[in-house]
Structure 1
């Protein structure tokens, strides 16, 4: 399976009434949560309900789960429940990752000859940021997500753009060096759609390949920002055709010099567009 990027949404595992809407929404990935959004007393209920979230998975979104940190008692219980479950998620989001060892624990508990889920790291502490070079090269890592709430709480900074810019840029750089997708944090002001769009455009410009959210009302804005426009798709087709006709030489397109990095970016854009089009056909 291609490691998904794009739009991600997460819903509390003990709020089963929300499952149908999250399973049928226009996100690329929908996660059921066993961690922060679930009170301690409701965690056993959430573990039991999770299997119903994964039954009869839709074509889109791809379904997944956020477990508790595998270095905690709750995380151990989550892994045991997943290992015993007859229905398992394609994606597992591991929170509070600070070492590549976290992937070894999760993979060791869950991997079988028939089941090897995509493992994503939630980067949300200064120690994780310092350990990124090793984390992004873990054998089983599929991608990274940024958690602004915990990061800001740990560092004492605000959740505005400037204080978090260094962490975001560092995460994107490390993810790009490892060739894995980087997904940005949710925008927590639920009714501020202008602010959401502005932040989504900023993180896309920075190099993030997607953004997560905690409410379905944010999905149309995030999808609109991260889905290539028809103009971008048409321009990418022109670049790729011109490069193929030039046999790999540097080319001129619409007054711009186009070298191999721009051709690679155009091909990547077209690949993402085809992946998100029904039946994989160009729109």
Structure 2
């Protein structure tokens, strides 16, 4: 089942002083991280602190989630064990270093209960994962994909920049689209380059990504401005849908542009995203 798209923010699990800001920010999804941003010595404390991230009584805000360590590691096993004991469990679980559908099945087998079936996202960050994307997206419990540029660039030896990573990004959004899953892009790691952040967000949106993740609250305005439908886009989409419905499904001209079924489908999808991004009550 597809999970949430839009703007994501990732907060280190060993920094609970940052939790209130993450849980009340303008992102669509807020993840507490138990993996790369947490030093090995701090991981036990981060697992314990993460409980407060999910039990925060705030009624509205981003959908909360967690990035565990790889389930193929001892830290990942400890993370999953800790999650099973939480009285309030995260709606979203991000699984790093996914390289096969089996990785998703293992986490689902540990976490799923009759009362709890979280959205499981696969973090794609290795060449083997990109090669195996067609089988990964067919996992029964997968809800979406995230791209991890830092690890992918390190593994391949390429530069963490647009052109060297274009093939992997294209493969990811293609496989996600085939399976009807949202694809969320990697964070932009240069915190002082607002123009570069905005440009990359626009590029990945044009490529087909449904959202982008952030590592600092200061990045949220730029990414949100790119991925949240504007009033003008919403008005144009409504006009397109209305014209198509009045034309009985025939190809129609809207504002000087020929509009057929693919354009109408895109307009309906934009209106659905706009509806999803409307203010709403969110339960942790």
Q: TM exceeds 0.5? A: yes
Q: TM-score, normalised by structure 1?
A: 0.97
> Deviation at 1:274?
1.2
- Equivalence map 1:86-165=2 (5 Å): 86-165=87-166
Alignment length (residue pairs): 280
1:63-121 CA-to-partner distances (Å, cap 9, x unmatched) read 00000011111111111110111110000000000000011111111110000000000
Q: Distance in 1 between matches of 2:154 and 2:104?
A: 24
Residue 23 of structure 1 contacts residue 58 of structure 1 at CA under 8 Å; is this kept in 2?
no
> Deviation at 1:208?
0.5
> Deviation at 1:59?
2.4
Q: TM-score, normalised by structure 2?
A: 0.96
Residue 57 of structure 1 contacts residue 63 of structure 1 at CA under 8 Å; is this kept in 2?
no
Aligned to 2:207: 206
Higher relative contact order (CA 8 A, sep 6+): 2
Name the stretch that deviates more: 139-148 or 245-254. Answer: 245-254
1:197-253 CA-to-partner distances (Å, cap 9, x unmatched) read 010000011110100010000000000011111111111001000111111111111
Q: Mark the runs of 5 or more structure 2 residues left unpaired by the alignment.
A: none
Residue 184 of structure 1 contacts residue 203 of structure 1 at CA under 8 Å; is this kept in 2?
yes
Aligned to 1:267: 268
Does 1:81 pair with 2:82? yes
Residue 60 of structure 2 contacts residue 280 of structure 2 at CA under 8 Å; is this kept in 1?
no
> Deviation at 1:57?
5.0
In angstroms, what is the RMSD of aligned CA positions? 1.2
1:22-53 CA-to-partner distances (Å, cap 9, x unmatched) read 11100000000110111111111011111110
> Deviation at 1:183?
0.4
Residue 24 of structure 2 contacts residue 60 of structure 2 at CA under 8 Å; is this kept in 1?
no
Question: Structure 1 residues 124 and 183 mapped into 2: Cα distance closer, same or farther (>3 Å)?
Answer: same
Q: Distance in 2 between matches of 1:79 and 1:41?
A: 18
